[in-house]
Amino acid sequence: MKSALWGTILSSLWLATFAMPASSADSLRGAWRGSGTVTFSNGSQERATCRANFKPSGQNAYDATASCSSQTGTVTQEAFVRGRGNRYRGTFYNPEFDATGNIQLNLSGGSMVARLTSNHGTAVIRLSRAR
C-alpha cells in the first residue's frame, strides 16, 4: 500500500521540480534535489529524498521525471506542469502503479516547494538546484 502511494504522491517531483530567477523563461529547466514529507491517507508519515529533472516542452510548459526514496522504497514518476513566473501546476503519473495526481510548484529565490496530492495522500517536498 505504501509503495503504491509513493508512486501516486511523488510522480514528478518532481519535481520537483533550484536556483534561476523565477522570471527566467527557463526557470524550471535542469536538475533539482531535495527532501520533504509524505503523508499517507491513513495519517502515517515518511521522510523522502528526491531528484528531479525538468525539460521545456512548450511555452511556459515542462516535462519532468523524478526519483524519490524513503524507508519503504524508491519510486520513479513523471509530470507535466504549466505556468509562469513562480507558479506552476500540473499532473503527475507513476507508471509502476498506474497512479495519478496533481502537482503545484512554487519557486522562491533559489528554491522550490512541490506540493502533490492524490487520493492516496499528500507530499510537500522542498527542492533546490542540483550542483
Q: Where along the chain do its domains lie?
A: 2-129
Report the CATH fold assignment for 2-129: Lipocalin (2.40.128)
Handedness of CA 36, 41, 45, 50 (dihedral sign): negative
pLDDT (0 to 100) of residue 22: 39
Read off the pLDDT of residues 33-63 as tens digits, 9 standing for 90 and up.
999 999 988 999 999 999 999 999 999 999 9
Handedness of CA 67, 129, 117, 36 (dihedral sign): positive
Query: Distance between CA atoms of 11 and 117, rounded to whole angstroms?
Result: 10
Single pTM value for the model: 0.79
Q: Is 5 helix (H, G, I), strand (E, B) or coil?
A: helix
DSSP string across 63-98: EEEEEEEETTEEEEEEEEEEEETTEEEEEEEETTTT
Cis status of the peptide bond prior to 61, with omega within 30 of 0: no
